[in-house]
Homo-oligomer: A and B are copies of this chain.
Amino acid sequence: MPKILREKEILKRKMFSIKELEIKTKKGNVVFDVVEKKDSVMIVPITDDGKLVLIKEYFAATDDYQIGLPKGRIEDGDVKKATNRELQEEIGYKSKKLTKLATVSVSPGNIRHKTHIFLAQELVESKLEGDEIGKIKVIKVPFANFGRMIGKEITEARMIAALYLAKRFLEK
């Protein structure tokens, strides 16, 4: 099995750092870079009447508005706290019934990061101010309709995974 011989931080930024790894392999040592990013939560919020609560917000990397699920970084290791904070900041609700659906990676070859996916039910109105770059618009659609939005308004892999995992859980 390949083995990491050493790690060196070559860049440190607010949202992530870059590490250079030297890896021992059968073909000799290779140098490989990875992005290290704080873990995050992503939430599938569903209202009592079966509506999926989505947000439309500005994404810097693509320089446009996209539809997404509420999500955010885990600041102090407290996953449930981060989940209810993001719900309140991004959609104006908190949840009385959070269910962990999965912990996923986004690109395990290059990125050290995990996203914890939650289903949020029993939503009650509660608003906190967030730190988003642009304005967030809240959109509600019947949960049963998400399939037809995939490939059109919905294009993020984690979000697609989260929605199907929520569907599977709710159909059990």
Contacts and interface: CB of A to CB of B under 8 A. Distances in A.
Given A11-B10, A13-B33, A102-B155, A23 B107 contact: no
B155 A160 contact: no
Nearest to A66: B108
Contacts of A170: none
B21 A134 contact: no
Interface in A88-108: 101-108
A107 B13 contact: no
Nearest to A60: B32
B133 A60 contact: no
Nearest to A62: B108
A70 to B, nearest CB: 13
B110 A157 contact: no
Number of copies: 2
A157 B106 contact: yes
A157 B161 contact: yes
Interface string A136-160: 0000000000010011000111101
Given A10-B11, A58-B2, A134 B25 contact: yes
A51 interface: no
A56 to B, nearest CB: 11
A130 to B, nearest CB: 12
A133 B15 contact: no
Interface in A13-42: 13-16, 18, 21, 23, 25-26, 30, 32-35, 37
A129 to B, nearest CB: 12
Given A34-B60, A104-B156, A106-B106, 7 more contacts: A11-B18, A15-B32, A16-B33, A30-B133, A60-B109, A68-B108, A101-B151
